[in-house]
A and B are shown apart, each in its own frame.
Chain A
């Protein structure tokens, strides 16, 4: 039974293989002959691109660490005014993509921007522009990305704090450690793995960010890849730059893994009593409330207010936007991608479970690393592969080129999303599956259930919460996704993200406000929908 090749096993083999193609493509292209653009880059801007990417990464890591860990610490261990509100309000930052944050930042602080209007309203006419700080360039990128991504660190660190062994903290107190010492000697080290995972997610997202750095005209590796392809029509160079970026990301992966290996002190306190929260009073209470309020304000209220303000102030841009079609396009992509991702992840997981084949298991693990693949690399790799494959079939069998079916079409877009978010979906379903003991399946077989019936009667109903959760997470990612959609979408096909981007690229930030606001509202709805699971303390 186990050795037999059946439908499920074939599935479990083919799906991860498809997902792994872009990764292979990027690696293989490194050995291709290059165009002139790469030589030009090497002599001129490559170092600049690298250093910009690196600087932004450093800044973002520092800021997200401070924002994420501090807020998680406050809401996990203390009672202060608003703590229950902040607990979930802080995850709303996920709803604001970094590039939309960047639009808000510029809109507010630019010359004669919103800050100027407020000051004029409050204090009358004056030359305020020179006194208003400018958040653009590197600093603007760092802040935009940090406020948008600190949620990863917050959610993971908080989960780690909540599940931390209360005994450990009590033992620390018995040994005479002060609160300050407890935090640095016990609480923080035992949450280290969670913090590192959070920071590495932030790092991967930062390195692959396109919308923000492009808006601020900062040249980083991602914008270099985009330019190589769009401006110079040089796919090979785009792929080789992708390789450099991928190398960085893989390096991060390795570092993260190495740091985890020594972290056996991180323990799961299942069954332990929950940590009682300490009531803060006086200055400490005010400080905690202020910190969380400012963080919530900056990460969510500020961009939403800015976008709402402009939407109301410039109603003429409503006419330019086909609101219905933007909604339909976005939801169509969400629906199709979720449907395929969840179905295929389910089948791959089940195939893996049934086959117990090591090769398939390795392949799945490898393909899941596609998550580390920035959208922009993926899009370029996808085009490279389809072009190569189409040319190959044309030259051998004389077929007509089928590039158009995949490039610049909904089909291509959904496939690219599939590759990009397969790990999210696969791992989401896998975590559900890990709770179903193998002997449950075996029992079903022994009671006469076929594999299909076991799948439909036992697994599907049991994992419905996981399906819902994965579906919403995919929706959230796709709504915010920019580079893949931008590159692979059909002509004139717009989503909220691309519409906002195209207006912002034309310096029409006022017009970008409405699609941005719609995007944030949709994303917030999805976040609130799953907040119960993200913040679960069970």
Chain B
């Protein structure tokens, strides 16, 4: 018997006739881990959660929880017998119960797990004090989402599934809630799978992240690696972190690798994937990779400038018509207008050289 907490082996999830997610394998080794599944809308993230919860059949493969098979191609344990809680995107609060009653329904589950928070504690943590007596139709969708979360937490599940849990919550409250909920989940060792399309949320909440693209699980790794070492062009493009420019690999034998670009010149750093010297590859250039230097001889034309509070994002055009983004701190003394020349510090050094 496997000692992993949750195992998904070669699973095929079917969302609709046209939409399925093939060959998904992932493991949660320890109880209490938080996993985030990240992917664009319509890729089938919710289908995976629903199938794990037992609300949809698994087409093929196997899902094991605590060493017991709960879903396979020909078996599906009923949802009520799985001790898995799920917060739906539309919250699904019981319309004839008020907020407090809705939350307490979760507490009625008899499964022997310990959970030291009471309904009152959760109400306080999730800022629901003022709406306890209200009915679902009288509260906002963000509030409903928090009520749904409290209800699920109180049911002390073995596995908690959260479908876009912060989608309708105000930005000002989002970060605070993310932290609080992460703390609760960690404190009580509640294994959780979160589905989201927000990479910041996924990287903050998840011990591990899975990237779902083109009907399969493209990468499953810790957030740092996903960010800095995406394993495919699709993942890098999906995370939407910069642009790709054509470069040539010059030097790979030393500790610091070297690439060359006809306009940007030499680019140094550590190649994430191995390529032999002389290979022509595409390099991921992110806004934070290039530094502004008014004194530099490498000058590029400004074609756009966006103010983002703490920084500006300049879009620069190279003579080859390739456009690259660059962050500049907004305290920087002078601003560059469109068509002006913009200096870039050379030689360029990028810690992780992401090439494909």
Contact = CB atoms under 8 A, between A and B. Distances in A.
Contacts of B170: none
B94 interface: yes
B62 interface: no
Contacts of A448: 80, 83, 108-111, 155
A449 B86 contact: no
Contact of A443 (B57, B78, B88): B88
Interface in B77-120: 78-80, 82-86, 88, 90, 92-96, 105-106, 108-111
Contacts of B106: 447
Contact of A445 (B57, B79, B94): B79
Contact of A450 (B80, B108, B111, B151): B80
B250 to A, nearest CB: 56
A439 B86 CA distance: 10
Given A1-B54, A440-B94, A462-B95, A445 B80 contact: yes
A461 interface: yes
A175 interface: no
A458 B96 CA distance: 8
Nearest to A437: B92
Given A1-B78, A439-B92, A462-B96, A445 B55 contact: yes
B95 A1 contact: no
Given A1-B54, A3-B57, A446 B80 contact: yes
Interface string A412-451: 0000000000000000000000001101101111111110
B21 interface: no
A437 B151 contact: no
A442 B85 contact: no
A436 B78 CA distance: 21
A2 interface: yes
Contacts of B85: 446-447
Contacts of A442: 50, 53, 55, 79, 86, 88, 92
Contacts of B96: 458, 461-462
A447 B90 contact: no
Contacts of A461: 96
Nearest to B76: A1
B151 A447 contact: yes
Main secondary structure of the interface of B (DSSP, over half): loop
Contact of B80 (A3, A439, A449, A458): A449
A450 B80 CA distance: 6
User: Which of A442, A445, A448, A461 has the largest number of chain B CB atoms within 10 A?
Assistant: A448
Contacts of B152: 446-447
Contacts of B83: 448
A449 B78 CA distance: 11
A439 B53 CA distance: 12
A67 B95 CA distance: 40
A526 B210 CA distance: 60
Interface residues of A, number: 19
B55 A437 contact: no
A440 B55 contact: no
B92 A445 contact: no
Contacts of B84: 446
A436 to B, nearest CB: 8
Nearest to A435: B95
B192 to A, nearest CB: 14
A446 B78 CA distance: 9
A103 to B, nearest CB: 46
A443 B86 contact: yes
Nearest to A449: B80
Contacts of A2: 56-57, 76
Interface string A435-479: 011011011111111100000001001100000000000000000
Contacts of A439: 88, 90, 92
A218 to B, nearest CB: 51
B79 to A, nearest CB: 4
Give the most central of A1, A446, A447, A450: most B CB within 10 Å. Answer: A446
A436 B95 CA distance: 8
A446 B158 CA distance: 11
Interface in A360-392: none
Nearest to B109: A448
Interface in B100-157: 105-106, 108-111, 148, 151-152, 155, 157
A449 B82 CA distance: 11
A449 B56 CA distance: 17
Contacts of B54: 1, 445
Nearest to B154: A447
Contacts of A436: 95
Interface in B2-55: 50, 53-55
Contacts of A447: 85, 105-106, 108-109, 151-152, 155
Contacts of A445: 54-55, 78-80
A344 to B, nearest CB: 23
A426 to B, nearest CB: 22
A463 B50 CA distance: 26
A78 B155 CA distance: 55
A442 to B, nearest CB: 5
B299 to A, nearest CB: 57
Contacts of B155: 447-448
Contacts of B78: 1, 445
17 contacts: A1-B55, A1-B76, A437-B92, A442-B88, A442-B92, A445-B78, A446-B53, A447-B105, A447-B109, A447-B151, A447-B155, A448-B80, A448-B109, A448-B110, A449-B80, A458-B94, A461-B96
Interface of A: 1-3, 436-437, 439-440, 442-450, 458, 461-462
Given A446-B82, A448-B110, A450-B80, 13 more contacts: A1-B79, A437-B92, A440-B95, A443-B86, A445-B80, A446-B84, A446-B86, A447-B105, A447-B106, A448-B83, A448-B109, A458-B94, A458-B96
